Amino acid sequence: MSSVNTAIQLSVRGDSSTSTCGTDLAQGPWEFDLDAALQGVPSYGPGASLEDVAPATTPVQGQIPPEYKDASDAELDARIMAAKATLGDKVVILGHFYQRDEVIKYADFVGDSFQLANAAKAKQDAEAIVFCGVHFMAETADMLSTPEQAVILPNLAAGCSMADMADIESVEACWAQLEEVYGDLTATDAEGKVPVIPVTYMNSSAALKGFCGEHGGIVCTSSNAKTVLQWAFQRGRRVLFFPDQHLGRNTAKAMGVPLEQMPMWSPRKPWGGTDEKTLQDARVILWHGFCSVHRRFTVAQIEQARLNHQGVRVIVHPECPMPVVDAADESGSTDYIVKAIQAAPAGSTFAIGTEINLVNRLAAEYPQHTIFCLDPVICPCSTMYRIHPGYLAWVLESLVEGTVQNQISVPESTAVPARVALERMLAARP
């Protein structure tokens, strides 16, 4: 099976019947870096997050030297391999499941954000960690690696539109309003519970992880969200869950929390767009955030897959909207999806609701199965797609010359409480 990038190029040239959500995806990502720099307005670029508005604080990537933009695929390949060989164990390259194949092929480790953060932690001999993922992942790797190690994000514009939907100022403003409703947020009731526990998804800035660490809260991943919510309910009357409403809702619903006790908090509305009575009755307050990749999946796509493929097993990621999760056979993290496919008997058919790069790679790795993406339109994660082999060649060759480009460094004042929230997550037990 061809890579997502090849499929997009064929689609744009009219050489394939597959459609893509953005013909701009066929261009080099530096075109969007240039637009953002010229207009002073950061953008997520083409792909699933194109319609999302990037906050003004979103990092903008400067132009990389022309030699990296003009090089052929073969030249970039030779340069990356040569730089990797020269650097040897001094560098470790991490590749997220959703990264394009043209970059993944150079990765020493491939996995989800938490697996990669742990891989970074395990490679203490590497002086540089090149993270081919998005900004919050590089921040987590920086917090879990040693102070001597430099974490590098090859394209600074590789953010995450979902993570950007909850910024620290909005979360602090929300917290202050919740204090007006619930009173002292550190006071415990007769059962020893505080009014509200903040829970942030791994897909959030280091500042939000730090907020959780400072306010008795915790981090969760899509693999352990249920365990983390149980941990939070042992300590608090209710949970403030950010930034992904869908993971929060799907997880809490499966735990038996009624939907009417899960109000939405819209950060730009007074009282989050809700009211005091609703907040008093709430069990989980859901931040109005979402992943634009997973929001594309629909119940109609599932119905179509069932019509076209008898016996198809539909697995979707819990970042998908609740009706999609309810209509699927199963929902689970990327790790769950990979393991389900690995364990299935040969000849199984899977319709998968997660990012297209991972789905296509699984289809190529497991030819004994039929595996396809629920969404028929090729629409990768916009920000992950901003990392192109040209950027990887640039950061690696710079390292060979002794220059660290695009270092992601979390200040200790944020990293210390953020590590507390991460440690609580690691210690949480079902």
Q: Is 116 among the residues that bind ligand SF4 (CB under 6 A)? A: no
Is 373 annotated as contributing to ligand binding?
no
Q: Is 114 among the residues that bind ligand SF4 (CB under 6 A)? A: no
For ligand SF4, give the closer residue by CB, 382 or 398. 382
Which of the ranges 214-222, 245-253, 378-386, 402-410 carries the binding residues for ligand SF4, by CB under 6 A?
378-386
Which of the ranges 30-38, 61-69, 143-151, 157-165 carries the binding residues for ligand SF4, by CB under 6 A?
157-165
Q: Is 161 among the residues that bind ligand SF4 (CB under 6 A)? A: yes
| Cβ-based neighbours of 267, under 8 Å, separated by 6 or more | 166, 170, 171, 173, 174, 287, 288
**C-alpha distances out from residue 173 to 40, 54, 238, 273, 281, Å:** 27, 20, 18, 13, 20
- Tokens matching residue 146: 């040693």
- Tokens matching residue 357: 């790069």
Q: How far is the CB of 81 from ligand SF4 (least distance, A)?
A: 27
Q: State which of positions 290-329 bind ligand SF4 (CB under 6 A).
A: 291-293
Q: For ligand SF4, which residue of 381, 393, 408, 415 counts as binding (CB under 6 A)? A: 381
Task: Look up tokens 């953005």; give the residue.
Answer: 22
Task: Look up tokens 């999609």; give the residue.
Answer: 324
Q: How far is the CB of 82 from ligand SF4 (least distance, A)?
A: 30
323 to 362: interface string for ligand SF4, x by CB under 6 A: --------------------------------x-------
162 to 201: interface string for ligand SF4, x by CB under 6 A: x---------------------------------------
Query: Positive or negative CA dihedral for 191, 196, 197, 202?
Result: positive
The contact set with ligand SF4 (CB under 6 A) reads 49, 98, 134, 160-162, 203, 291-293, 355, 381, 383-384
Tell me the binding residues for iminosuccinate: 96, 113, 201-203, 222, 317-319, 334
